């Protein structure tokens, strides 16, 4: 898409920006002016098409904010919340396009869209546990498929738990504000707080139940030829994500102290599973 002159005017500079950020944060020299020029070029050429009229233009409209979101993440969040704004835009476009295409059931989804959809979904799901998340999982495929998603790095059964954790975090913060204000609804807030804690315990139980699984499957397209090494790596990464959710629930919903055994055990497990996952640290010179 980036190399297609009919669609790549906005995607190409965003793609080049992401490539330029890589050597910059490896400590290699790179021109800050060039990075800013690429960002400006991408935004200047980005034009939102009339959604639903041209599938290629629709793909371009989804891919550009996703690339800009990735660039802001790679840049370490230098611009506060800008990556969230790009992701919100991509999710909104994806939702609108999906709604239109749902009414045309015979429309065959392109290979590009099959790539963009899980990319958008994975970023949105991971953003749910971030501070001040503005998303709720609109781009999530709610099918009942149960396999370790090689695009996400975790089992699809974990997605509803990401969503539940997101709701619990928002409700917990709202209740805490109400309790601090000491309004007339103080008793109601206390009752709701009890309900949130019960749901939190149920979510923790579900995560632990998922962790106890002894076997995992992958998407049918790769199940037959995924290597033993890759399978092991994905399962380790999947376990790390499970403990990541537990960490958020323990710390941000239950308000457990950093020194609590559950917190320490979760952190140790994440480190252990990441150590088991063997990264190939490579970079391109120049």
User: pLDDT (tens digit, 9 = 90+) per residue, 230-282?
Assistant: 899 999 999 999 999 999 999 999 999 999 999 999 999 999 998 887 654 44
Confidence of residue 111 (pLDDT cuts 50, 70, 90): confident
Residue 29: predicted pLDDT: 61
Considering the domain boundaries, does residue 131 fall inside one? yes
Domain that holds residue 252: 156-276
Mean of pLDDT values over 67-93? 83
Question: Where is average pLDDT lowest: 19-28, 88-97, 219-228, 246-255?
Answer: 19-28
CA 176 remoteness from chain centre: 26
For residues 135 and 179, membership in a common domain is answered with no
Classify residue 252 as exposed, middle or buried by CB count within 10 Å of its CB (0-12, 13-18, 19+): middle
- Could you say which of 117, 141, 165 is where a domain stops? 141
Considering the domain boundaries, does residue 165 fall inside one? yes
Residue 47: predicted pLDDT: 73
For residues 163 and 136, membership in a common domain is answered with no
Mean of pLDDT values over 132-157? 81
Pairing of strands 154-155, 148-149: antiparallel
Considering the domain boundaries, does residue 148 fall inside one? no
Q: Is residue 164 within 8 Å of 196, Cβ to Cβ?
A: no
For residues 21 and 133, membership in a common domain is answered with yes
Residue 285: predicted pLDDT: 42
- Which stretches within the chain are classed as H helix? 8-24, 32-45, 55-74, 82-102, 111-127, 159-181, 186-211, 220-223, 228-248, 261-276
For residues 136 and 168, membership in a common domain is answered with no
Distance CA 247, CA 207 (A): 11
Residue 107: predicted pLDDT: 63
Classify residue 127 as exposed, middle or buried by CB count within 10 Å of its CB (0-12, 13-18, 19+): buried
Q: Is residue 197 within 8 Å of 254, Cβ to Cβ?
A: yes
Going from the C-alpha of 9 to that of each of 54, 201, 206, the distances in angstroms are 17, 49, 46
Considering the domain boundaries, does residue 186 fall inside one? yes
Distance CA 146, CA 238 (A): 13
Question: Where is average pLDDT lowest: 108-117, 136-145, 201-210, 261-270?
Answer: 136-145
With a cut of 70, say whether residue 216 has pLDDT above it.
Answer: yes
User: What's the whole-number average pLDDT of the chain?
Assistant: 83
With a cut of 80, say whether residue 25 has pLDDT above it.
Answer: no
- Phi and psi at residue 154, in whole multiples of 5°? -150, 165
């Amino acid at each position: 898409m980036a190399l297609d002159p009919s669609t790549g005017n906005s995607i190409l500079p965003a793609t080049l920006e992401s490539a330029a950020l890589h050597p910059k944060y490896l400590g290699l020299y790179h021109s800050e002016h060039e990075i800013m020029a690429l960002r400006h070029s991408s935004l200047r050429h980005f034009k939102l098409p009339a959604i639903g009229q041209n599938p290629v233009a629709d793909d371009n409209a989804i891919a550009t904010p996703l690339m800009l979101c990735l660039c802001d993440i790679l840049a370490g969040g230098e611009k506060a919340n800008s990556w969230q704004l790009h992701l919100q835009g991509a999710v909104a476009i994806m939702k609108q396009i999906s709604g239109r295409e749902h009414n045309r059931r015979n429309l065959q989804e392109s290979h590009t869209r099959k790539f963009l959809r899980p990319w958008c979904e994975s970023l949105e799901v991971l953003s749910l546990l971030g501070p001040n998340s503005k998303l709720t999982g609109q781009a999530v495929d709610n099918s009942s498929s149960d396999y370790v998603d090689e695009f996400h790095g975790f089992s699809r059964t974990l997605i509803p738990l990401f969503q539940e954790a997101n709701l619990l975090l928002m409700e917990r913060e709202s209740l805490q504000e109400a309790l601090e204000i000491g309004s007339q609804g103080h008793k109601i807030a206390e009752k709701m707080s009890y309900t949130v804690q019960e749901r939190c315990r149920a979510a923790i139980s579900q995560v632990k139940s998922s962790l106890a699984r002894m076997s995992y499957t992958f998407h049918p397209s790769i199940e037959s030829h995924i290597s033993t090494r890759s399978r092991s790596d994905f399962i380790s990464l999947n376990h790390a994500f499970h403990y990541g959710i537990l960490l958020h629930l323990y710390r941000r919903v239950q308000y457990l102290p950093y020194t609590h055994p559950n917190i320490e055990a979760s952190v140790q497990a994440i480190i252990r599973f990441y150590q088991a996952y063997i990264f190939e640290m490579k970079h391109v010179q120049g």
